[in-house]
Amino acid sequence: MTRVVANPRHGDLRNLLSVADLGPDVASGINRVLTLTDSFVEVSERAIPKVPALKGRTVVSLFFEDSTRTRLSFETAAKRLSADTMNFSVGTSSVKKGESLRDTIETIEAMGVDAIVVRHASAGVPLQIAQWANSAVINAGDGWHEHPTQALLDCYTIRQNLGDLAGRQIAIVGDIRHSRVARSNVAAFSALGAEVTLVAPPTLLPPSLEGWPVKVSHDLDSVLANTDVCYLLRMQRERMTEALIPSLREYTATYGLTERRADLLPGHALVMHPGPMNRGVEIAANVADRPNAVVIDQVRNGVAVRMAVLFLLLGSGIEWGGEIDA
């Protein structure tokens, strides 16, 4: 059976800059993406994991900051949907010659693109681009601000392993202060009814947590026994302008998920990390390889989640033989 989707470009989701863009009812917006992701997981498992859903559309990746997972994941997602992809490397572009962001965007748009996937070291750049561009803009991480597709793939991975997030206890551990992943995940996890505890030294928490629907702890050992998901963050040394911890060794001793600490988790609990992992710092090497560490599932699900996001933003309404009803 084929369900044809009206072009959602004319619908509610125009850009994806933050988790809040998923709709006035964020939980329904997330659930809509997760349901659509189920179909794209099925597509990804086929012998030929490709559908013509976005044939004729062009997606450009505009990454001003390094990335392994997110960039490859968006490109794979676009290709599996049969979109054309363009890759903009700042290092080899005219940005190096001083071309402004606005001129760069106008140049890219003049070539006829439908979506711009952007990562930038400064918060707010994707929003600025969305104000200039006619294409759909997807935030692939902006400074300390947000990384909405990471939150979606994390919700999907938790739901896949543990079922509904409602009532689940999720500990987010580490450098919350500099983490866009933490900001998007707190918004998404709490919208789905999970209870989030931030575990970090005071120096690695945001200066104000007003309005954050979270509990805070400085004692990882005491949190672990009542945790369904232990979500570890990397020490974002590239964003630290001052010494916020005495040393990495001291950090590992107090906040690292060592083997001893991982044993305090309930048997069903998941260990998650957005990558890149610093084995031996926030997570012991052996803990990262345990069966309950689902870091590779997160990466795998990232492709299907980004297929769902691209499809929601650019879906052409072309019949392609799938059973997608967004």
Which residue's structure tokens are 């392994």?
Answer: 68
Q: Which residue, among 208, 206, 193, has the nearest Cα to 236 in the 3D structure?
A: 206
Closest residue by beta carbon to ligand ASP: 234
In this structure, are residues 148 and 141 in contact, taking their beta carbons and an 8 Å threshold? no
In this structure, are residues 266 and 289 in contact, taking their beta carbons and an 8 Å threshold? no
The yes or no reply on residue 23 touching ligand ASP (CB under 6 A) is no
Site string for ligand ASP, 166-195 (x = CB under 6 A): --------------xx--------------
CA distance 314 to 58: 10
Nearer Cβ to ligand ASP, position 29 or 274? 274
Determine which residue in the list 8, 29, 126, 141 makes contact with ligand ASP, applying CB under 6 A: 141
Task: Give the shortest CB-64-to-ligand ASP separation in angstroms.
Answer: 12
Task: Give the shortest CB-262-to-ligand ASP separation in angstroms.
Answer: 20
The yes or no reply on residue 145 touching ligand ASP (CB under 6 A) is no
The yes or no reply on residue 143 touching ligand ASP (CB under 6 A) is no
Residues in the chain: 326
Q: At what angle do helices 26-44 and 180-191 cross, to 10 degrees?
A: 100
Site size for ligand ASP, by CB under 6 A?
Answer: 8
Close Cβ partners of 237 (under 8 Å, ≥ 6 residues apart): none
Task: Give the shortest CB-185-to-ligand ASP separation in angstroms.
Answer: 11
The yes or no reply on residue 234 touching ligand ASP (CB under 6 A) is yes
Task: Name the region of 184 (left: φ>0; alpha: ψ -120 to 50; beta: rest).
Answer: alpha
Close Cβ partners of 263 (under 8 Å, ≥ 6 residues apart): none
Amino acid at 69: R
The yes or no reply on residue 126 touching ligand ASP (CB under 6 A) is no
Nearer Cβ to ligand ASP, position 141 or 315? 141
CA distance 47 to 36: 20
The yes or no reply on residue 274 touching ligand ASP (CB under 6 A) is yes
Nearer Cβ to ligand ASP, position 120 or 180? 180
What residues make contact with ligand ASP under the rule CB under 6 A? 141, 147, 180-181, 234, 236, 274-275
